[in-house]
Amino acid sequence: MNTEQDLLRVAREAETAGDVAAARATYERLLEINARHDRALTALARLELASGKAEPALVWLERMTPAELEPAVLTDLFLLKAASLRMLRRHDEEVIALQSALTVDPYCWPALLQKAELFERQGKPKAAAQLYRDVLKISPPPEYRPEAFKKPLARADQMVAMYAEALEMTLLQALDGLPGLSQRWRESVSIMAGRSKPYVSMSNQLAVPRLPAQPFFRREMFDWVPELEKRTPAIRAEMIAAMSEVGAEFAPYVQYNPGEPVNQWAELNHSRNWTAFHLYRGGEPVPENIARCPQTAEALKLIDAVHLAGTCPNAMFSVLAPKAKIPPHHGESNARLVAHLPLVVPDNCLFRVGYDARRWTEGEVVIFDDTIEHEAANDSDEIRVVMIFDVWNPLLTPEERVIVQRMAEVERKFRFDA
């Protein structure tokens, strides 16, 4: 067995098995056949570095001719050289080697990572954090990080978080006291600092372009809110009666069939951590449930309900179990908004839409655009219950409502007709 390919395979197998002596001997035998074998030279340099020997590693690397190397090997050469120079504390030369690697491959995240580490060692935490941020954009996500890079990349996570927190605090201090400093600008600061992201409307079905993507809507925009809130005690009483009635069904809200992708809903699929008692579902009434809750049914007649073929109206009592969470998700259409009438809200319940997090208050309606990423959590030891229902987005004109209804009707007919 004297071919270069066979020897390279044997050497790599020995290295993988941890037999450094056998690997070294085989790589050196390869060099007796081909004194400029680039894979053998980089492998020997890597073995020297693993033993803490930077000078011998550089000797092997200096036998290589960069002009003759393919890009991947050339990048490897510069990375190994930079690592050797780092060990020797020859930092100016280390920077040159790293920059050479990045010239060959601008997306070589190990080179960016080492450059960021160098900046941090030199007492330049801000420059380091900005490079670390770039590293995290192109390096593998945490669950796929190579073992050798887990600790350095965790440090990158930490440095980026510290930089973002410090920048956010600095910006907020600079803006403190200025007129007009609303939640909108606090969100802008959070995005600029990298602690948040822009939350946009993402409709799963019917999207209306150019509608403002605002998380929560002012209650004053809906004239039915005060009267509905007055009926909270009656609605709550019917909900409690329904929960105690043997024949009333509070079914798991998430129910995917076998073979369907569940994505973020895996933990809640067919789970009683999130159940619902439907009054209207997918545009159709649920007669037996409405019969059990006549005062609630009357109260729902007050609202500006959406009617979209196969989709709306919807109305239900939504029960979130203790310690349960509803993961971040988006709704079907920004033509409609979703409203909550909180009925049972223990402490430690939180609701987030986009950047804005709120706590429910029993009897106070909350109206939001569910096509903006939103999530909910019940960190208490009791159930949380809200009545959820659909209303028209008030930013649509009456003529636009008709257009939305026609689109929904025709799309559904097209989809299901043979």
CATH number assigned to the domain comprising residue 379: 2.60.120.330
- Percent of the chain predicted with pLDDT > 90: 73
- Evaluate whether residue 188 is within a structural domain: no
**Is 402 found in the same domain as 272?**
yes
Whether residue 418 is predicted with pLDDT greater than 80 in this model: the reply is no
Whether residue 121 is predicted with pLDDT greater than 80 in this model: the reply is yes
Among 170, 159, 149, CA closest to 119: 159
- Evaluate whether residue 82 is within a structural domain: yes
Count the residues in the chain: 418
Task: Map residue 363 onto helix, strand or coil.
Answer: coil
**Is 325 found in the same domain as 403?**
yes
**Is 359 found in the same domain as 251?**
yes
- Evaluate whether residue 187 is within a structural domain: no
Residue 396 and residue 374 in contact, taking contact as beta carbons nearer than 8 Å? no
**Is 411 found in the same domain as 290?**
yes
- Evaluate whether residue 182 is within a structural domain: no
- What's the pLDDT at 390? 97
- Evaluate whether residue 32 is within a structural domain: yes
Q: Which residue has the higher pLDDT, 317 or 184?
A: 317
- What's the pLDDT at 127? 94
Q: What is the DSSP string of 308-337?
A: BTTTB--EEEEEE-TT-EEEEE--SBTTEE
**Is 235 found in the same domain as 158?**
no
Q: 249: pLDDT confidence band, cut at 50, 70 and 90?
A: confident
Among 130, 340, 147, CA closest to 232: 340
- What's the pLDDT at 247? 61
Q: 245: pLDDT confidence band, cut at 50, 70 and 90?
A: confident
Average pLDDT estimate for 85-97? 91
This prediction's pTM: 0.81
Residue 400 and residue 361 in contact, taking contact as beta carbons nearer than 8 Å? no
Q: 396: pLDDT confidence band, cut at 50, 70 and 90?
A: very high
Residue 199 and residue 213 in contact, taking contact as beta carbons nearer than 8 Å? yes
Whether residue 93 is predicted with pLDDT greater than 70 in this model: the reply is yes
**Is 253 found in the same domain as 152?**
no
- What's the pLDDT at 260? 87
Whether residue 311 is predicted with pLDDT greater than 80 in this model: the reply is yes
**Is 223 found in the same domain as 123?**
no
- Percent of the chain predicted with pLDDT > 70: 99
User: What are the pLDDT digits (tens) for 31-75?
Assistant: 888 888 888 888 888 888 888 999 989 999 888 888 888 898 889
User: What are the pLDDT digits (tens) for 334-361?
Assistant: 999 999 999 999 999 999 999 999 999 9
Angle between helices 91-104 and 71-87 (to 10 degrees): 170
- Evaluate whether residue 204 is within a structural domain: no
Decide the pairing of beta strands 251-252 and 356-358. Answer: unpaired
CATH code where residue 114 lies: 1.25.40.10
Last residue of a domain, one of 116, 132, 163: 163
What the block records as the tokens of 95 is: 């920077």
- Evaluate whether residue 110 is within a structural domain: yes
Q: Cα angle at 360 between 356 and 363, to 5 degrees? A: 140
**Is 79 found in the same domain as 228?**
no
| Dist. CA 337–CA 368, nearest whole Å | 6
For 49, half-sphere exposure in the C-beta direction (CA atoms, 13 angstrom radius) is: 22
Q: Tell me which residue range forms the domain holding 278.
A: 219-416
**Is 336 found in the same domain as 262?**
yes
What's 216's DSSP letter?
Answer: B
Last residue of a domain, one of 163, 197, 231: 163
Residues in contact with 155: Cβ distance below 8 Å, sequence separation at least 6, in sequence order: 117, 132
Q: 2: pLDDT confidence band, cut at 50, 70 and 90?
A: low
- What's the pLDDT at 36? 82
Place of tokens 């004239």: 223
- What's the pLDDT at 246? 63
Q: For the ranges 11-15, 79-83, 135-139, 317-321, which has the lowest average pLDDT?
A: 11-15
Q: For the ranges 74-78, 133-137, 163-167, which has the lowest average pLDDT?
A: 74-78
**Is 226 found in the same domain as 154?**
no
Average pLDDT estimate for 407-417? 89
Average pLDDT estimate for 387-409? 96
User: What are the pLDDT digits (tens) for 148-196?
Assistant: 899 999 999 999 999 999 999 999 999 999 998 888 899 999 999 999 9
- Structural domain total, the chain: 2
User: What are the pLDDT digits (tens) for 19-31?
Assistant: 888 888 888 888 8
Average pLDDT estimate for 4-33? 84
**Is 252 found in the same domain as 144?**
no
| Dist. CA 150–CA 354, nearest whole Å | 30
